[in-house]
Amino acid sequence: MKKIPNTFGIDVTAARLLEYSSEDELRELIAAGHVIAPWLHIGGGSNLLFIKDYEGTVLHSCIGGLEVTSEDEECVSVRVGAGVIWDDFVAYCVERHWYGVENLSLIPGEVGASAVQNIGAYGVEVKDLITSVETINIAGEKRIYGVDECGYSYRKSLFKQPEMKTVFVTYVNFCLSKREHYTLDYGTIREELEKYPVLNLETLRRVIIDIRQIKLPDPKVLGNAGSFFMNPIVPRQQFESLQQEYPDMPHYDVDAGWVKVPAAWMIDRCNWKGKALGPAAVHDRQALVLVNLGGATGADIVALSDAVRASVREKFGIDIYPEVCLI
């Protein structure tokens, strides 16, 4: 039995843990019959909650490398291995003054998982930077999915569908801008930028990292998977009704008929911030984050999640759902 890496710090094992560093190595593992069902393909384990030991094969990509595939005055296209640490990729782009990913600084995990999860933060989603996703399936066949085929929406993608468990992401292709532009109108970004004399990519990355470090615990110190819940998108009529009762309810317009409501605000109003249920707790600085205080099991985290969700449903009539994948 092999221990499964996960940022929640849950002590879980897999019957088999297989790592590969190239598409050819993955094909060899498949051809040799080593990928035995059931199987699970993971990145850094930063968006997973294991409820129990995994009685199957866990696959982990160690495919590295970053290659510039095309470049002109406007943009640069890069092909990045699925096993590259996401924040290393962001730092690489910022150093070269490639614009687009800086607001996604310090998000844990790896590049392959970013394309599966459609990670997002501070007004930016990775789907708007991806051009295609390269994959190998369980038969060893390669297929490249154009971004329009990936079914991207808020924290969703084609690759999260059950029928896609036989498809493994190997490379992700991005298009980044060489023209100066920033996304600043989200959260406290503009306020924090006032502390710096100049706006550039390095400054914005520093600000994003500072904001995240103030709000979010380090998984190496306090086990967590970042934001545990997705922000719900509700009908405008329902939001306007709630707004009459809660005039200070923050929101983000999605379109004419739908509104996104911050789950953290509702959890906080239910007085969960900083509260524990056994060895699991809601973080005291960011209500979206559930943490392992030490020795928590996956079941402990789920019990806390269920209690938080029930409180939000009772108070606001809104269902919130985990962003984290429960295994």
pLDDT, tens only, 10-40: 888 998 899 999 999 999 999 999 998 899 8
Which is the catalytic residue, given 27, 79, 155, 313? 155
Give the model's pLDDT for residue 255: 87
CA distances from 142 to 79, 127, 307 (A): 16, 21, 43
Report the pLDDT value the prediction gives residue 1, as an integer from 0 to 100: 66
Q: Are residues 105 and 89 in the same domain?
A: yes
Asked if residues 155 and 47 have their Cβ atoms less than 8 Å apart, the reply is no
Return phi, psi of residue 137, to 5°.
-95, 180
Sequence-distant (≥ 6) Cβ neighbours of residue 46 within 8 angstroms: 6, 7, 108, 109, 113, 219, 225, 226
Taking only the tens place, the pLDDT of each residue in 278-317 is 999 999 989 999 999 999 999 999 999 999 999 999 999 9
> What CATH number did the domain enclosing 120 receive?
3.30.465.10
Among this protein's residues, is 16 annotated catalytic?
A: no
In the structure, what pLDDT confidence band is assigned to residue 162 with cuts at 50, 70 and 90?
confident
Whether pLDDT at 202 is above 90: yes
For residues 314 and 256, state if they share a domain.
yes
Q: Please check whether residue 82 lies inside any domain of the structure.
A: yes
In a domain, 200, yes or no: no
* Helix ranges restricted to H, the chain: 23-31, 86-95, 111-117, 189-193, 201-215, 236-245, 263-269, 298-316
- Domain boundary residue among 28, 61, 94? 61
Domain containing 51 equals: 2-61
Examine the residue annotation and report whether 227 is marked as an active-site residue of this protein: yes
Return mean pLDDT, the chain.
93
pLDDT surpassing 80 at residue 175: yes
Q: In this predicted model, which residue has the larger pLDDT, 56 or 169?
A: 169
293 plus 251 within the same structural domain: yes
CA separation for the pair 108, 119 (Å, rounded): 10
Answer whether residue 115 is part of any domain. yes
What is the total count of domains within the chain?
3
Q: What is the DSSP secondary structure assignment for residue 83, as one 8-state letter?
A: T
- Asked if 285 is an active-site residue, the reply is no
Q: How far apart are CA 53 and CA 176, in angstroms?
A: 40
Helices 86-95 + 201-215 axis angle, to 10 = 150
Which tokens is 145 given? 């999915």
Asked if 111 and 156 sit in the same domain, the reply is: yes
Structural domain ending residue among the three candidates 177, 198, 214: 177
Mean pLDDT of 157-168: 92
Contact status, residue 61 vs residue 43, Cβ threshold 8 Å: yes
The rounded percent of the chain whose pLDDT value lies above 70 is 100
Q: Are residues 91 and 148 in the same domain?
A: yes
Residue 235, domain member (yes or no): yes
* CATH, residue 24: 3.30.43.10
The pLDDT tens digits for 230-266 are 999 999 999 999 999 999 999 988 888 999 999 999 9
Whether residues 54 and 123 share a domain: the answer is no
Q: Does some domain include residue 204? A: no
- Predicted local distance difference test score (pLDDT) of residue 104: 96
State whether 173 and 244 are in the same domain: no
Quick one: which of 127, 125, 231 has its CA closest to 183? 125
Residue 38 sits in the same domain as residue 74: no
275 CB contacts (<8 Å, ≥6 apart)?
Answer: 281, 282
CATH number for the domain including 239? 3.90.78.10
Tell me: do 135 and 53 sit in the same domain. Answer: no
96 in the same domain as 26: no
Q: Provide the residue type at 91 as one letter.
A: A
Same domain, 98 and 159: yes
User: For residue 186, what pLDDT is reported?
Assistant: 83
Instruction: Tell me which residue of 136, 108, 40, 13 sits closest to 323, measured CA to CA.
Output: 108
Give the active site residue among 61, 227, 305, 309.
227
Q: Please report the DSSP string for 8-31 in residue order.
A: T----EEEEEEEESSHHHHHHHHH
Average the pLDDT over 57-80 and give the result: 95
171 and 79 belong to one structural domain: yes
Residue 253 near residue 259, CB atoms below 8 Å: yes
- 241 occurs within a structural domain: yes
Any domain includes 207: no
**Alpha-carbon gap, residue 110 to 97, rounded angstroms:** 21
* 215: in domain: no
The last residue of a domain, from among 122, 147, 177: 177
